[in-house]
């Protein structure tokens, strides 16, 4: 006879490799139903972007199939993204479960490209995603996301995000005239950052991606001191000068106790569209060395590619422009790695 206890006992052998616990102890298994040899249950993971979804579901199916008398197995897989741990002296953004800062030690390494495609990849997986452009000296998100609308206010006087590609967005670029110079001193920068963190009505979000200015200045420190950041992603390129600055960004986040979710090496290589040969134009191995030196995972290598540049110019991230491309697959891998790291931190 098939019983719920037998099903749970079998599923206790199925582990989540990232969290190091079985799926029953993690409360991933819900609503078990048994009917004439048919076993159905819900499998609720920690993120829609879980890269191990297929493996965990397959292991669960295999475990239940070993029970005598089971003829059919129906698994409904879903997700509940956990909220990051609160920090008493910092106020969380209402409705936002996790905040991810995307940073670089210097400009020109493709930080905003990574931000928009990370947001698009998480949204494509089914997550509720927001994108906050805090690159106050060069707000490029409106252009790269193909939308530039005046900011509207809600009844409570908070700013309403604009939406495109199922991503809620806010940018200082929405309040500036095109080509207007940004000549702001430190105190005003800190004031603007705090306003965009506290006065936007995000609704319910699983992940808020925050695109930072390059460097390690007022905007970065204000962000780290104002809200409890879940973690950060540092973007670099293979050149030595870029890696030196990336290491400064890593050290800055370590000093303000913000976990580094991963290092992304952009413009890592050129992939010939005709023969598939890789050419490492800007040197190689720098990302791996930085990863090893600072014990930070290297979660992705993005190639130099015309489509990525075109996507940014026309307001369609590569994930949207060509979702089946090699580049899109790489961004989906990065999104999965980021989501997994956040789940590990949230379950510690």
Name the residue ranges covered by the structural domains of the chain: 4-79, 96-347
CATH architecture for segment(s) 4-79: 2-Layer Sandwich (3.30)
- pLDDT at residue 102 tops 70: yes
**What's this model's pTM, rounded to 2 decimal places?**
0.91
Residues near 267 by beta carbon (within 8 Å), at least 6 away in sequence = 109, 110, 237, 238, 281, 282, 302, 303, 304
d(CA 136, CA 60): 47
Is-contact 196 172, C-beta < 8 A?
yes
DSSP helix/strand/coil, 343: helix
Confidence of residue 251 (pLDDT cuts 50, 70, 90): confident
d(CA 90, CA 214): 24
Q: What is the dihedral of CA 243, 247, 249, 255, to 10 degrees?
A: 180
pLDDT tens digits along 103-124: 887 777 889 999 999 999 999 9
Residue 341: per-residue pLDDT: 94
11-21: burial string, b at 16+ Cβ within 10 Å, e else: beebbbebbee
- 301 closest CA partner among 345, 213, 235, 242: 235
Residue 178: per-residue pLDDT: 61
Residue 184: per-residue pLDDT: 53
CA-to-CA separations, 11 to 173, 335, 342, in angstroms, rounded: 50, 27, 24
Percentage of residues in the chain with pLDDT exceeding 70? 93
Residue 290: per-residue pLDDT: 82
Residue 293: per-residue pLDDT: 85
313 burial type by CB count under 10 A (0-12 exposed, 13-18 middle, 19+ buried): exposed
Of the ranges 30-39, 45-54, 57-66, 265-274, which one carries the lowest mean pLDDT score?
265-274
- 335 closest CA partner among 114, 165, 103: 114
- Read off the pLDDT of each residue in 123-136 and give the average, rounded to a whole number: 92
DSSP helix/strand/coil, 148: coil
- pLDDT at residue 182 tops 60: no
- pLDDT at residue 180 tops 60: no
- Read off the pLDDT of each residue in 300-326 and give the average, rounded to a whole number: 91
- Read off the pLDDT of each residue in 26-39 and give the average, rounded to a whole number: 95
User: Which of 186 and 299 is assigned the larger pLDDT?
Assistant: 299
d(CA 56, CA 88): 35
**Strand 167-171 to strand 129-133: parallel, antiparallel, or no bridges (unpaired)?**
parallel
pLDDT tens digits along 186-236: 566 677 778 888 889 999 999 999 998 877 666 777 777 778 889 999 998
- pLDDT at residue 272 tops 80: no
User: Which of 221 and 54 is assigned the larger pLDDT?
Assistant: 54
Is-contact 335 125, C-beta < 8 A?
yes
Give the CATH number of domain 96-347; options: 2.40.10.120, 3.40.50.300, 3.40.50.261, 3.40.640.10: 3.40.50.300
Confidence of residue 32 (pLDDT cuts 50, 70, 90): very high
Residue 19: per-residue pLDDT: 93
Residue 221: per-residue pLDDT: 76
d(CA 76, CA 80): 13
The DSSP code sequence of 145-159 is TT-----EE-TTSPE
Residue 187: per-residue pLDDT: 62
Percentage of residues in the chain with pLDDT exceeding 90? 55
Domains 4-79 and 96-347 share a fold: no
Confidence of residue 176 (pLDDT cuts 50, 70, 90): low
Residues near 254 by beta carbon (within 8 Å), at least 6 away in sequence = 260, 294
Residue 181: per-residue pLDDT: 52
Confidence of residue 260 (pLDDT cuts 50, 70, 90): very high
- Read off the pLDDT of each residue in 98-107 and give the average, rounded to a whole number: 87
How high does pLDDT run on average in the chain? 88
Residues near 310 by beta carbon (within 8 Å), at least 6 away in sequence = 321
**Strand 38-45 to strand 29-35: parallel, antiparallel, or no bridges (unpaired)?**
antiparallel
Residue 17: per-residue pLDDT: 92
Residue whose entry in the numeric block shows the structure tokens 């789940």: 343
d(CA 229, CA 259): 8
Confidence of residue 134 (pLDDT cuts 50, 70, 90): confident
- pLDDT at residue 26 tops 80: yes
Residues near 17 by beta carbon (within 8 Å), at least 6 away in sequence = 52, 55
- 48 closest CA partner among 83, 18, 77: 77
């Amino acid at each position: 006879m098939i019983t719920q206890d037998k099903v749970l006992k079998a599923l206790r052998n199925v582990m989540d490799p990232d969290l190091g616990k079985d799926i029953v102890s993690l409360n991933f298994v819900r609503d078990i139903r048994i009917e004439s040899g048919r076993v159905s249950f819900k499998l609720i993971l920690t993120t829609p972007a879980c890269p191990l979804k297929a493996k965990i579901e397959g292991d669960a199916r295999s475990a239940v199939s070993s029970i005598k008398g089971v003829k059919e197995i129906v698994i409904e897989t879903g997700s509940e993204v956990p909220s990051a741990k609160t920090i008493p002296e910092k106020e969380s953004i209402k409705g936002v479960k996790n905040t991810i800062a995307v940073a670089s030690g210097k400009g020109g390494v493709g930080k905003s490209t990574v931000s928009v495609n990370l947001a698009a990849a998480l949204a494509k997986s089914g997550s509720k995603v927001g994108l906050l452009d805090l690159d106050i000296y060069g707000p490029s998100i409106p252009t790269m996301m193909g939308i530039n609308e005046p900011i509207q206010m809600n009844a409570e006087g908070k700013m309403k995000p604009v939406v495109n590609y199922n991503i809620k967005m806010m940018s200082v670029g929405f309040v500036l005239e095109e080509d207007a110079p940004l000549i702001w001193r430190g105190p005003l920068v800190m004031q603007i950052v705090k306003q965009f963190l506290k006065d936007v009505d995000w609704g319910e979000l699983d992940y808020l991606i925050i695109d930072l200015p390059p460097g390690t200045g007022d905007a970065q420190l204000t962000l780290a001191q104002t809200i409890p950041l879940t973690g950060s992603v540092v973007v670099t390129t293979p050149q030595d000068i870029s890696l030196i600055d990336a290491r400064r960004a890593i050290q800055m986040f370590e000093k303000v106790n913000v976990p580094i979710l991963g290092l992304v090496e952009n413009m890592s290589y050129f992939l010939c569209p005709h023969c598939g040969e890789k050419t490492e134009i800007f040197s190689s191995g720098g990302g791996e060395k930085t990863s090893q030196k600072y014990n930070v995972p290297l979660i992705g290598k993005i190639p130099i590619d015309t489509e990525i540049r075109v996507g940014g110019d026309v307001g369609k991230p590569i994930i949207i422009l060509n979702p089946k491309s090699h580049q899109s697959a790489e961004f989906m891998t990065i999104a999965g790695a980021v989501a997994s790291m956040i789940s590990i931190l949230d379950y510690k």
